[in-house]
Every structure is written in structure tokens, then in C-alpha cells.
Amino acid sequence: MALDLSGLNPDQRAAVCATEGPLLVLAGAGSGKTRVITHRVVYLLERGVAPGNIVALSFTNKAADEMRERLMKMTSKAVADALVLGTFHSVGAAMMREQPDQFGVPKKFGILDQGDVYGLVRAVLRDLGLHGQGAERRFDLGAIVQRISLWKNDFVSPADAQGLYFETEYDEAAAAVYGPYEERLRALGAVDFDDLICRVATTLEENAEARAYWQGKFRYLMVDEYQDTNRAQLEVVRRLAGERENVCVVGDDDQAIYGWRGAKVANILGFDMYFKRAQTIKLEQNYRSYAPICRCANAVIRRNTSRHEKELVPQRRGGDKVTLVVAPDGDQEARWIGRTIYREIKERGTKPEDIAVLYRSAKQCDAIEALLQEHGLAYRILGGQAFYDKKQVKDALAYLKVMIAPKDDLATRRALDVPSRGVGLKTIEHLSEFARHRNLSLAEAIHRSDEIADIPSRAAAGLRSFSAAIKRAQAHFYSSGSAVAPLQGLLEGVGLREYVLKEAGSEAAAAARWDGVVWLLEALGRFEQRARAKGGHVRYNDFFQVMNASKDKDEGDEEDAARGKVTLSTLHSAKGLEWPLVLLIGCEEGIMPHKRVSAPRISDAIAGDIEEERRLFYVGITRARDRLYITRAATRLERGAEVPRKPSRFLDDLPEADIQVHDIARDERLGHDNIASMAEAFLANLAKGL
């Protein structure tokens, strides 16, 4: 069946049909960009382009899956599966697996997730004497990891980092960690997520054979959310595009809100500088929001100077004005929000999943969460760290893998490192070399470590202790047929709980962290019970796959996860989502925009700027389909004292004709006055009648 383009507007059709050469599609909020990308893919297929020659890159697995599902309905499962659809990271990993030698990785390289990276950085800090008792409170691991990630994506090598000007002790510590961290990655035969892009970009630049192969294979490139690309991602796109330059990027510079993690808005603003023959098509028709919401969004973002000139053209006429709510203080703001949501659901019949509360900083969520609980309303929170991403859970899971799946070298390396046993990088290299020459797993090499020369006595003792603990747990596992008790015994035997206590710094914090490990043991027990109830063998690989897929499942089942629940979300986490009713809260100076925009700048990527804050506010406004409330408080409690708050400067940009002000204190006072006047009038009339 031929592709039907009649449902597209003229600009959308133009973007679909302009297949040759570089194309920038500026897609405003709610303008139907995913529809354009999928139609463009089918348009190419109908003109004889092979599915394997088409690449569509996105930033989340959820977006890639949604695109694949749409294309499956428009073509077939076989065709959709043959297309190269995925994130920059997943496509980079696939390229490296296909040509490991070209990209300088082992055939079976490991990919470290965030928890693994934190573990390596922690170990390096400890080796450098920067992470001992109490030192973890001196250096936040996330800040170290972020700096290394930013350097990598700007192609700053460990040697280059040593020559940088250090503005803070974090810069100095990150530069010291960077080199040893990279050495540990090599020793493990592993890469981190940044390598999946940076290593690909470097190889495509330096290796002509690899570059020719991939340019020949990937003949048509499409990139979604292009405003979120960093320098390394830009270089991947440029080097894959080659002289053909059949690259279509879709994005909106007005929604570029990730500068703090390395995204370069300059990539989309300067697209025609990198691709000289570039054509630009603007998608300005907004199909999401009512006109007052669109006009408010346009008025706010128009104040930014670094942007492509465009505006949202609302296709939905009518609609309520945007309501600006002014509360006397933060407590009354939160209570008004709680009451409003309760009335919407209980009195107006609004579905909970159609309501979202959006805020600049995660800590703003606490008061709203408490009030929703008080009203008995279900909710979900977007953002934050899931339990299966927490370090102690990943550590326990690594021990489980070593016990029942000992060929997993990455799990063995992680378990060996926590708690510390005095096993340094040189010892790991000796073990890895011994294992390679004898075709052994790392765990098997550890069990035979007495055969390896040049291992220091402290490390040798640590390896013997580790080996004995694993063998005891395995014997218990094989005799009992269950992994729960053996794993619990193993974790106690190696002192993992004591290690967690030391890392946490207090009994209360340690107990909270250990709850995740208890959950893992309980989940493992339930998994075994279900398998036995079905009369089959317990397949522990299925359990590992479930654990690995948990996060993707949470992200993928967006509709199921949201059903019957109000959404509480940071503005960053809300990007790409929409709701009929949105409450954008805490719109005051120091909150929205964030106080850091007036603080001394560390760097553009870390400190951010006022234009990015304005884009973040714009993103918040454009999440609303039908109704939008924007709230602020006149005072807030800070360190026990009521402190006056200035309204956000962004509120000054809202057009008066499209907003209505609801002053909680004034309106409630007027409400009481009206009731009193009505009562007086009633009594007066009653007296006249008498």
C-alpha cells in the first residue's frame, strides 16, 4: 500500500520528501515530529532504499521502541526489525560488536552501567588515598563522574585533563582519577556508556577502512531531539554522513535543556555551519495545546536571543486562560495544590493520570507528596534513582552471579572489589593474563591464584578468602537447591553489611541502604517459588534478565505505570510528555530560574545560564494540553524564618490578555466578605418583611 501523505500539513510533507542532502527540521512543541520521522522512513523504503541502510537515532529506548512500533504498523515486523533504530549508545554498541578489532575492544567486551562506573571511581579514589573513612563526604562520586564524562565527550584525554586549569578541588580530583579509571576499564576489557559514542567517533575519524564501511552501510541518517546532542554525538553524525550528507536532524533549540550534562545547543543553532548545503524546514503548527497556552509559551521564549526565529501556531481554538496563583507562603501554596487536585479528581471527575505537578528541583516534591498522601491520592514520581540502580543492590547481585554464574567476569570483578581486599590493578592484570592463556573465567583464575607468581601477600590472602567464601556458598547452593540462604550467608560472610555501614556513615543511612539488599533476597525467593510452582527448573538467567530489564520496563510501560496516578515530576524528567492539566509550581527567583544562574560560573556545561532556564520554563508550559496553573509564594520558610520571595522574571513575559491571577489570600478574604454581605442583606430584607 502506497504511503498516504494527505494527513500531513505542507511543512510536514516537505520534511518527509526532502531525502537527499542535509536537512534541519525545526519541530516546535506538539508539532508532530515523530510522525514526520516515521513517514520519512517509509518514504525512503518505497523509493528502494534497503532497511539496513536507514538509521534513526533517538535519546531513549522508549522513543526508539515507539518509533519501531509505529513503523511496524506502517510496513511489517520484518521490515521494522531490519531498520537500524536505537539510541546513540545502542547503535554504537552494535557497531563495536560487529567490528571489535576496528574499535579496539575485545570480542566479548563488557559495558559498565552507572553503578559499575561509580564502583570503579570509588576504588580509584581509595587507591589514591582520597576515599577513606569520612573522605566520601569530601568528594561526591557523581561530581567526579560527571567531569570525566564531560571531558570524554569533548575528546579531552587523561593527559590533556592534567594540563587544565583547576577551579575547584573536584576538577583536580577528577583529573587524578581519569587516567587510572581508563586503565581499569582496559584491564576489565570493558567500556563505559561514553565510550560507546566517543570511541566510535574517534575510530571513524582515524580509521579510513572502518569509516568507508559504515558510511557505505548507513546511507541515510535521521536524528531525533538533535538539540540534545553533545560534541561526540555531533562528530559521530558528521563522520557517518560523509560526503553524501544524507542526514536529517529533527529538534527544537527552544527545548534544549541539558547543557549541564554536556549537550551543545550550538549543534542545532549552527547546523548549516557543519553542513553547508543544509535546508531548513520549520514545523510550527501546534496540535497539543489551546491557544492561550501557546501564546504564553511564545511570549516567554521570544526573549531568548540564541534561537531560530519561530513560534507555535495553535491549531486548537478557545481554551481557558493560564491561571497565575499567588500564595502567601510555601505552605499555603502546597495546600492549595493538594486541594485543587483533590477537587479535580473527586468533584470534576478528572482522571488522576491527566494531572501533573512540575517543579524545577526534586526537593520541591516533598510537600506535595505529603499532601497527596493526606488526601489519599495515588501518585508517581518521575526522576530519582530506582532501587535496582543503587550500588549496594548491584554489589549483592554481583555476588549472586559469581555464586551461580561464575563465568561473568564483570560481576566477579565487582564482587572482588567490594569490600576492599587489597587486590589492586596489577593483581587484576595478572589474573586476567592467567585466565586468557588458559581459557578460564576470572573466577576460575581466582580459585587458582596460588599458581600465579608476583601477587603481593596481602592480595593473595584476599583472593584466598574470596575464593573460599564463594566455594562455601556454591556448595550450600548445590545442596539446598535454593540461592536465597546461600547468598545471604555469603553477603554476611564477606562483611558486605559492615561495608555498607562504613560507607553510609550512620546506622540509619546504612539500614535504609540495606533495605534494597533485603528486597533483592525477597525478590529472588519469590522468583524461585513461582518457578517451582510451575513445575519447572529455576532458570536464574531469567532472573538476571528481569533485573536488567526492570528499568527499561518501567520506562516502556509509561501508560500502565501512570494509570490512576497523579504525576509529580521535575521539568527535566517531564520533557517529551504531556497532560491535560499541568500545575507548574514554585515560579520564583532562585527556584525558577535556579539560583545558580547568578552564582560564580564554573563552566557553561555545569553552571548553566538564564537562557537555558527560560527554555526549561518554556518546556513546562508546553506540557499542558488543556489547562495550566502557574504558582508562586510570596514568602517561604528558610532556616526557621519567613523570607520574602521575588516572582520569577519569566512571569513578566506572560501576555496579560492570556492570564488570570488568583491571589489565594485576597480571594479567600473576598469570599468571606461576600458571605458576610449576603448575610447582612438577608437579615435586612427579613427585618423589612417583618
Active-site positions read 33-34, 224-225, 255, 623
- Pairing type for strands 566-570 and 379-382 reads parallel
451: left (phi over 0), alpha (psi -120 to 50) or beta: alpha
The count of residues in the chain is 690
Q: Which of 84, 93, 94, 89 is nearest to 222 (CA)?
A: 84
Residue 304's DSSP bridge partners are none
Question: Residue 27 annotated as binding?
Answer: yes
151, 583, 522, 579: which is closest to 338 by C-alpha? 583
Confirm whether residue 263 is marked as ligand binding. Answer: no
SS3 letters for 417-485? HCCCCCCCHHHHHHHHHHHHHHCCCHHHHHHCHHHCCCCCHHHHHHHHHHHHHHHHHHHHHHHHCCCHH
Q: Is 396 annotated as a binding residue?
A: no
Which residues face 247 on adjacent strands?
Answer: 221
DSSP string for 33-75: HHHHHHHHHHHHHHTT--GGGEEEEESSHHHHHHHHHHHHHHS
| CA 642 – CA 141 distance, rounded (Å) | 34
CA distance 236 to 93: 13
34 is in an annotated binding site: yes
Provide the grid cell at 276: 553547508
Cβ neighbours of 57 (radius 10 Å): 28
| Distance (Å, whole) CA 34 – CA 140 | 38
- 3-state SS class at 144: helix
Pair type for strands 624-638 and 641-644: antiparallel
In 206-364, DSSP assigns E strands to 220-223, 247-251, 279-283, 285-290, 313-316, 322-329, 355-359
**Residue 31 is labelled as binding a ligand:** yes
Query: CA 325, CA 662: separation in Å to the nearest integer?
Result: 5
Among 186, 138, 178, 136, smallest CA distance to 158 is for 178
**Residue 559 CB-half CA count within 13 A:** 1
Cα distances (angstroms) measured from residue 417 to each of 127, 202, 290: 12, 31, 56
- 310 marked as binding residue: no
Distance CA 231, CA 201 (A): 10
Half-sphere exposure of 301 (CA within 13 A, CB side): 29
The secondary structure element, H or E, covering residue 216 is: helix 208-217
Give the sign of the dihedral formed by CA 645, CA 650, CA 655, CA 658: negative
- Is 30 annotated to bind a ligand? Reply is yes
- Taking residue 436's Cβ as centre, other Cβ atoms within 10 Å add up to 13
**What is the C-alpha separation between 144 and 125, in angstroms, rounded?**
10
Q: Which residues are annotated as a binding site for ATP?
A: 27-34
Q: Which residues are annotated as a binding site?
A: 27-34
